[in-house]
């Protein structure tokens, strides 16, 4: 039996099953697809595919359905990424570019993926640990208290308070944190942090601390420590889910029911770990039991990293049944990731 013909039969079964959600029989394949062979030959091909574990026969039907192994072969060797139309590309770019801040752009990205795929969209906020310092503001609040505003190169804004009068080494009296002094400190810290990631900031700030007058060093060190601590936090990692209601549609049938899928999506820390593993290179696909979350055993996850200047700072993706439109989902996830990377602050 021709290996190429067997793959064509598998492609036809996957495409028909995704479209109709019904087991596919040899007669249907003969009628719908120009495979150029007799029904008997197609039945033999299907038997070989079933023996190899690529398709299975549900007990209620004589037709066949793809298995996780079959979907994997389809994705790895058969599926071609269907390009988005010019109108779709323009709509994505316009919709994302109209966002007013980071929260808005991520919410829009999630809605786009959910609308394009008809599935659940998962969008991770840019990780502070992978972000650089774009700008720092020091705002005096009186009584030597400072508001430290950290703006990352991915558009995140974090605010922290620093009581300069209680910093070790700071005298209770005699330290004047006026606008001119704070302006100079802000300028020095911003210049030191320009173009640097978290791992480089401590050393850069240490040079600033050494360059200021001794009375100011404890305050500058306190600000520097606060910035490094803020960018090093892991507890803030969070995701945005969009399109969860899509799972309730009739065509989103799950043999084990909807509850396990919803419970898995609520395990955001574990879900983030799965997405992070997937997005090392380009667009990745995990199918059925390849997902290490039991609740996602009947789903497939398509994920991609996004970021600035070629650096991945977060992940986005789509979650749906294993019976998903893989070429369309891959195209949507890839396109939104690319456009999101373009509209992020740089």
Report residue 253 CA to chain centroid gap. Answer: 25
- Phi, psi torsion values for 235, nearest 5 degrees: -65, -20
- Phi, psi torsion values for 175, nearest 5 degrees: -100, 115
Tell me the average pLDDT across 25-30: 84
pLDDT given for residue 255 in this prediction: 80
pLDDT at 236 over 70: no
Domain ranges in the chain with CATH number 3.30.450.40: 86-126+237-343
Residues 86-126+237-343, CATH architecture = 2-Layer Sandwich (3.30)
Tell me the average pLDDT across 256-274: 85
Domain 130-231 has CATH 3.30.390.60: yes
pLDDT given for residue 346 in this prediction: 52
Range name among 231-240, 256-265, 330-339 with the lowest pLDDT average: 231-240
Tell me the average pLDDT across 5-25: 89
pLDDT given for residue 172 in this prediction: 46
Mean pLDDT across the chain, nearest whole number? Answer: 84
Output the furthest CA–CA distance in the chain (Å, rounded): 95
Nearest to 52 by CA among 3, 124, 97: 3
Tell me the average pLDDT across 234-241: 70
CA 125/CA 314 separation, integer angstroms? 6
Sign of the dihedral through C-alpha 42, 48, 54, 58: positive
pLDDT given for residue 110 in this prediction: 95
pLDDT band at 75; cut points 50, 70, 90:
very high
pLDDT given for residue 292 in this prediction: 80
Domain ranges in the chain with CATH number 3.30.390.60: 130-231
Nearest to 231 by CA among 307, 306, 163, 152: 152
Neighbouring CB atoms inside 10 A of 246's CB total 18
pLDDT at 232 over 50: yes
pLDDT given for residue 83 in this prediction: 79
pLDDT band at 202; cut points 50, 70, 90:
confident
pLDDT band at 174; cut points 50, 70, 90:
very low
Under 8 Å CB-to-CB from 114, ≥6 apart: which residues?
Answer: 120, 121, 242, 243, 246, 318
Specify which residues 66 forms β-bridges with. Answer: 55
Find out whether 25 and 81 touch, Cβ atoms under 8 Å: no
pLDDT at 235 over 50: no
pLDDT band at 304; cut points 50, 70, 90:
very high
pLDDT band at 200; cut points 50, 70, 90:
confident
Tell me the average pLDDT across 193-218: 84
CA 56/CA 52 separation, integer angstroms? 10
Tell me the average pLDDT across 148-174: 71
pLDDT at 165 over 60: yes
Range name among 107-111, 127-131, 236-240, 295-299 with the lowest pLDDT average: 127-131
Q: How far is CA 277 from CA 19, 159, 184, 281, in A?
A: 30, 30, 43, 10
Find out whether 323 and 21 touch, Cβ atoms under 8 Å: yes
CA 220/CA 167 separation, integer angstroms? 10
Q: How far is CA 154 from CA 131, 145, 199, 209, 232, in A?
A: 6, 27, 17, 26, 15
pLDDT given for residue 237 in this prediction: 66
pLDDT at 177 over 50: yes
pLDDT band at 234; cut points 50, 70, 90:
low
Radius of gyration (Cα) for the chain, nearest Å?
27
CA 253/CA 121 separation, integer angstroms? 18
pLDDT at 129 over 70: no
Range name among 88-92, 264-268, 298-302, 311-315 with the lowest pLDDT average: 311-315
Domain 3-78 has CATH 1.10.1740.10: no
Domain ranges in the chain with CATH number 1.10.10.10: 3-78
pLDDT band at 167; cut points 50, 70, 90:
low
- Tokens representing 206 are 């240490």
Tell me the average pLDDT across 291-317: 86
């Amino acid at each position: 039996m021709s290996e190429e013909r067997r793959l064509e039969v598998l492609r036809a079964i996957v495409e028909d099953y995704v479209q109709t959600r019904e087991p596919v029989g040899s007669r249907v394949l003969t009628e719908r697809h120009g495979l150029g062979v007799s029904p008997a030959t197609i039945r033999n091909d299907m038997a070989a595919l079933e023996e190899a574990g690529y398709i299975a026969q549900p007990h209620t039907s004589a037709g066949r359905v793809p298995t996780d192994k079959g979907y994997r072969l389809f994705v790895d060797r058969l599926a071609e990424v269907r390009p988005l139309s010019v109108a779709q590309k323009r709509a994505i770019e316009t919709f994302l570019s109209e966002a007013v801040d980071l929260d808005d752009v991520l919410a829009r990205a999630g809605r786009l993926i959910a609308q394009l795929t008809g599935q659940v969209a998962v969008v991770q906020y840019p990780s502070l640990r992978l972000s650089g310092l774009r700008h720092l503001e020091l705002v005096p609040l009186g009584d030597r208290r400072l508001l430290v505003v950290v703006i990352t190169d991915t558009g995140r804004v974090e605010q922290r308070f620093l009581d300069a009068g209680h910093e070790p080494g700071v005298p209770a009296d005699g330290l004047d944190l006026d606008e001119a002094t704070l302006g100079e400190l802000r300028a020095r810290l911003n210049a030191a942090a320009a173009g640097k990631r978290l791992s480089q900031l401590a050393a850069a700030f240490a040079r600033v601390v050494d360059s200021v007058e001794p009375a100011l060093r404890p305050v500058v060190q306190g600000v520097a420590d606060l910035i490094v601590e803020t960018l090093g936090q892991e507890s803030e990692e969070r995701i945005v889910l969009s399109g969860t209601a899509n799972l309730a549609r009739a065509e989103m049938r799950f043999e084990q029911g909807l509850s396990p899928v919803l419970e898995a999506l609520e395990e955001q820390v574990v879900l983030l770990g799965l997405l992070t593993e997937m997005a090392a290179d380009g667009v990745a696909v995990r199918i059925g039991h390849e997902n290490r979350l039991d609740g996602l055993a009947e789903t497939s996850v398509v994920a991609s990293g996004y970021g600035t200047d070629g650096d991945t700072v977060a992940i986005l993706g789509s979650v749906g049944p294993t019976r998903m439109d893989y070429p369309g989902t891959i195209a949507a996830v890839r396109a939104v990731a690319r456009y999101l990377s373009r509209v992020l602050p740089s």
